[in-house]
Chain A
Amino acid sequence: MSFRILLIDDSSVVRSVLRKALQLTGLPVAEVYEAGDGAEGLEVIRRGGVDLAFADITMPVMDGQEMIETMSAEGLLEQVPVVVVSSTQSDPRVQALLDAGVSAFLPKPFTPEQIRETIEQVLGVDRHAV
């Protein structure tokens, strides 16, 4: 089993760091797609073939909150779990995101081990099976 991961962040640096962290997890990652805002992310998700998305909240064009609400309305959150990666670590905000259907919240800065644990938790991966 290998994963297809979508990285949604307006910062190319954050996408690069996430991509490198994914490599360092040792998890089998088949494809890594990138999107610069929520609208681009939605386009990729609607095309299919994404197992998990990491998304920022503060983005131009369409922010992460609107993207998540749109995914929920279209039934896409049940197909593609979303992990929010953000520097805005307000507990009420995090709870609101989880209530809206987000699968997990990861504060910045993050480590490859946190990325690995989050993927294992969200996708129900058995650490010893990969």
Chain B
Amino acid sequence: MRSEVSEIVTATFVEIVEQLTFMLGDQVDKDELTTPDSAILRAAMEFSGDATGSLDLIIAEEACPELAANILGIDTDEVESQEQVLDAFKETLNVVGGRVVREIGGSDLRFDLTPPAIQNLGAEAWAAFVASPSRIGFLLDETPVLFGIEFESEGT
């Protein structure tokens, strides 16, 4: 990922995720991220229009209820269902991803997002995502998160 794109992604991710989840985001070296002990969840979506590409968000499954609780403004034990947990995770990618695409492509960029889809993966998949150059590492409070984007505009 080019450094200027990486800077836009990082600044936008931190700003929007804090507004949405009230969790402090901090970009970190991916090697500093602790590999999750449990299964991991990957939310992925694509965009098309004046630019095409894909976005994804990867997090330990056990961290997702807290994410949902923060978005909903409730305690973790008040989260009603796994469906609500997954819904909140997908919405996080949807909101952050939409803003990131706009910030990279500009406000005149015309694009559509597909609905996010969720994959449940074993913890062993984490290392491959960390190694991917299209992904940036963050800590959300203390929770390791990977955010990835592949962006291709008509001019690139």
- Is A14's CB within 8 Å of the partner chain B? yes
A87-B113, A89-B107, A93-B110 as given contacts; A17 in contact with B102, CB under 8 Å: no
- Is B71's CB within 8 Å of the partner chain A? yes
A11-B90, A13-B87, A109-B20 as given contacts; A87 in contact with B72, CB under 8 Å: no
Q: B74-104 CB contact bits vs A (8 Å, 1 = yes)?
A: 0000000001100110110011011100100
Complex contacts, B34 vs chain A, CB 8 Å: none
Most buried by B among A13, A60, A108: A13
Residues B87 and A87 in contact, CB atoms below 8 Å apart: no
Complex contacts, A72 vs chain B, CB 8 Å: none
Could you tell me the distance between the alpha carbons of A90 and B99 in the complex, rounded to whole angstroms?
Answer: 9
Residues A108 and B95 in contact, CB atoms below 8 Å apart: yes
Could you tell me the distance between the alpha carbons of A38 and B120 in the complex, rounded to whole angstroms?
Answer: 29
A17-B72, A60-B115, A108-B98 as given contacts; A90 in contact with B87, CB under 8 Å: no
Residues A17 and B115 in contact, CB atoms below 8 Å apart: no
Residues A109 and B19 in contact, CB atoms below 8 Å apart: yes
- Is B109's CB within 8 Å of the partner chain A? yes
Closest Cβ–Cβ distance, residue B52 to chain A (whole Å): 14
Residues B90 and A86 in contact, CB atoms below 8 Å apart: no
- Is B73's CB within 8 Å of the partner chain A? yes
Q: B2-22 CB contact bits vs A (8 Å, 1 = yes)?
A: 000000000000001001100
Closest to A20 in B: B73
Could you tell me the distance between the alpha carbons of A12 and B73 in the complex, rounded to whole angstroms?
Answer: 14
Could you tell me the distance between the alpha carbons of A90 and B102 in the complex, rounded to whole angstroms?
Answer: 7
Q: A35-61 CB contact bits vs B (8 Å, 1 = yes)?
A: 000000000000000000000001010
Closest to B19 in A: A109
Residues of B participating in the A interface, judged by any CB pair closer than 8 Å: 16, 19-20, 49, 68, 71-73, 83-84, 87-88, 90-91, 94-95, 97-99, 102, 107-115
6 pairs, CB–CB < 8 Å, chain A vs chain B: A12-B83, A86-B98, A87-B98, A88-B98, A93-B110, A108-B20
